[in-house]
Structure 1
Amino acid sequence: MNRILASIPGRGWTVLWVGILLAAFWGHSDVQAQSSWTVPSVAPVLSNPDFECADGYTPDVNPAGDATLIPNGWTVSYRSGAPFLSSTRLKYRGGVCDDSGGLPFVEKLNGHDSLTILSQHIEWSDAPGKPFDVVLYQQVPATVGGIYSLSGWLVSICGRNSKPFDCPEGYYIAKAVGLDPNGGTDPDAASVEWVENRDGHVDSNGERLGWQNMRVATRALSNRVTVFVRMSSPFQWHGNLGFVDAFSLVRGPLSELAALPSEVEGNQVEVAWIGQQSPDVLQMAGSTHQLLFDVQARYGRTGEWRDLVTGAVDAGSTTFTAPCVDAAYEFRVRARSEQPEGSSGLWPNQRYPGVWSTPVRVYFNAAQPVEDPATPAVPNVPDGPIRIFIPQVSKAANC
């Protein structure tokens, strides 16, 4: 099996090597520097990101004519079915938003409240927990070319919320967050970048999974970006519901590769990366976020991306060894801003991805053998015709 090989030097040498490498590459006449970074001058601001009743909910009516409550700053779009939406506090505390004593527990992750989404006829009628698909969105002013990173938390419950759990095998409630770099309001537009999670609140062994962190990033193509949150329950089952809480939108971390040569002799090239932490993360008091990098490589323009480096801390470099020569490979890098697991940082543990850089292409020429002209090679070939079998080998399959 052919593999992509990589080695990461120690951090002290890495910093020195990166400086030398950047100077060498960017001074090379045959290469071009990567695109410059656009850092928006103003941080993005989400309205009611924690879905708090104190920040207000507006009365609305779902497709079945049932009264619902929509968090201020957000717009609802019922794609199918008639789910019930409300402030979790107002729903389960009889309309009371404050911290009055003796009231029931409220499922939330941050602040004092969350958004609850319940399936129609959740525990009554002959078909409780009817299917639904609902989207909430919010348009936020943006800077064209700026990177924006969204992190949010959702949890879904299928069937009973206590043992014995009875969600049928194969049933799920899909949770998704998305960003539209064009600032549109159509959740089905091709430009929307989605990330989806179908995990329930427990795993197949009945162990609690709880709230799921979901994150996505985009490069703004308009003077606004649109934040989407979606919950879709495609199966009818009693008790189906979900909660949404703790959304955070920031200027994303930045990254790019040091300029690479367009071609090299042999099968190795040094790949270096640099980046910049999100200015909004830097201003978070008590944060332990680190700037992490992922680097990937692929054969040609259509090969499968393979991990070359995962979770490297700070700028660095690595040696890429191409499995094939007389061939081209492409490289890309992405920055992430995350707190180390187990660190005493901020709660909830928001994770902010950047976007993948534009792929950079390098052609690997086979190294030419050096022959001694004084002793030319004389083939030992018998007289007469020679039959040679040359098998056809697919280079792409092994590269």
Structure 2
Amino acid sequence: MPIEVIVAGLPRSGTLSMHNALERLGYYKTIHTLAHRTTTEQMEAWREIYEKHLEKTWTNDDWQKMMNTVYRDFVGTADAPSCDFAVELARAYPEAKVILLYRDPDKWYKSHQHLRAQFNLSYWELFLILQEKRARSLVQMARAEYAWWDEVYDYSNRGKDVMPFYMNKIRTNIDAKRILEFKVQDGWEPLCKFLGKEIPEEDFPHSNDAQALSEERNQIKNEALAIVVQRFALRGNIIDLAIGIIIGTAFTNVVQSFVNDIITPPFGLILGGVDFVNLTIKIKNFVYQDQPPVVIRYGKFLQTIISLLIMAFVLFFVIKSINKLRELTTKKKQIEESKKIEISEEVKVLCQIRDLLAKQSSNEQ
């Protein structure tokens, strides 16, 4: 299936709106990373192309492989990674029409920076995403693309000037007769005239690909979280951990109550009815004499030490009991397994001979 329309437009220049407009005009399907959930195979192919292009090891065979992998089911292209290779696509499909998208460079750069920030993942998000193969491929492809942008477009230094740089690249390498320079604000009329299509009755679509990417990222995180739950929770690990936390919290409260309500009151009685927690040493503030004295609450500290010792004592015996129980269980299993060991026929015969010899010996005596 040959490509009929190539949208040469950088991300955040209206590519999702163009995708929706082209599909409304009958160009099914138009590839867009967000509009069509790009497959793992496609993203891995793009990542490989980006990396090989930077390494200057990209061959025609690689390009043909990408044609067969990425574009085999599509008649239109929009957004990155396709826009980065619009010139190569135009050469591969000489009959395809090219739509060169334009947006104010300042607005584009600010918007694109926001888009890039979507891939600044927290450790937790990164952990989740790495659990899901397609999401992992998306992150790897995006990072390969950004490395390519820094090298080819000099994005870090050019900034907003990447937009005019890109447009000049398209104008220089593709026949002007094949190009429509277009802004999404221009609406249906120039686009339909260029493509030879009737103008639809509804308004031209205006879609937000930053919002779409955010929704995509949330969906990926939810899918990855489901995988994590499936991998770990169903094995019982998370459930066991949750039960342990609940029991541990309850046990801590019991120990604290035991120390506060049972252990320390007698100490307070011995000390003449003083509340153990309120035992303090007050040191005069020599630096700021108008300030209240510094208070050392050694009673509360001692109370915490007592709690720690009790918990350590209990845990020691609990762990020792568990190890003892585990040891007994292991020995029991070993005994049962030893009983299950089948005696070979040779051993049985030898045992019978032994018994007969013993019997004969006793008869002779």
Greater Cα radius of gyration, structure 1 or 2: 2
* TM-score, length-scaled by structure 2: 0.21
Structure (1/2) with the larger strand percentage: 1
* TM-score, length-scaled by structure 1: 0.20
Structure (1/2) with the larger helix percentage: 2
